[in-house]
Amino acid sequence: MESSSNKKVPMFRSKYGAVNRKHRRLYKKEERLVYYRLYELELFFLEDLFIDLPISYKELYIHYLDEWHRLTDWMVRMKMFKHTIINIHYFEEQYKPIEDELSTKNKNHEK
């Protein structure tokens, strides 16, 4: 059984699957043109994580989570996702602080 922390969380997926060559090309083009912004934000988060900042992981996570939501909301409003479906909860699922996860499990266990 695979734990939730080891699962690969997809950032996005194709709307159509790999139907034909045309859809694969459009999917790859959209990935290059649209998702680089999200990859870049994720990269900035990881870089900031490994430099010596005077803030905690949770504060850094909250800052970048807000940035992630701002960016994804804007991208959805601008209708940038034509051939893909974004996982707007990707950042949260991928980088959520462990303390939050443990407290959620404890609350569920007490019920």
What pLDDT, in 10s, does the model give residues 80-102? Answer: 888 888 899 999 999 999 876 54
Domain that holds residue 72: 12-110
pLDDT at 20: 86
Q: Is residue 4 part of a domain?
A: no
Q: Is residue 63 part of a domain?
A: yes
Q: Is residue 7 part of a domain?
A: no
The Cβ-side half-sphere exposure at 25, using a 13 Å CA radius, reads: 3
Q: Is residue 58 part of a domain?
A: yes
CA dihedral sign, ordered 104, 102, 47, 6:
negative
pLDDT tens figures, 57-84? 999 999 999 999 999 999 999 988 888 8
- Judged by DSSP in three states, 80 sits in coil
What does DSSP assign to residue 35? T
Q: Is residue 29 part of a domain?
A: yes
Tell me: pLDDT of 28 over 60. yes
**Phi/psi class of residue 87: alpha, beta or left (left: φ > 0; alpha: ψ in -120 to 50)?**
beta
Pick the more confident residue, 87 or 110. Answer: 87
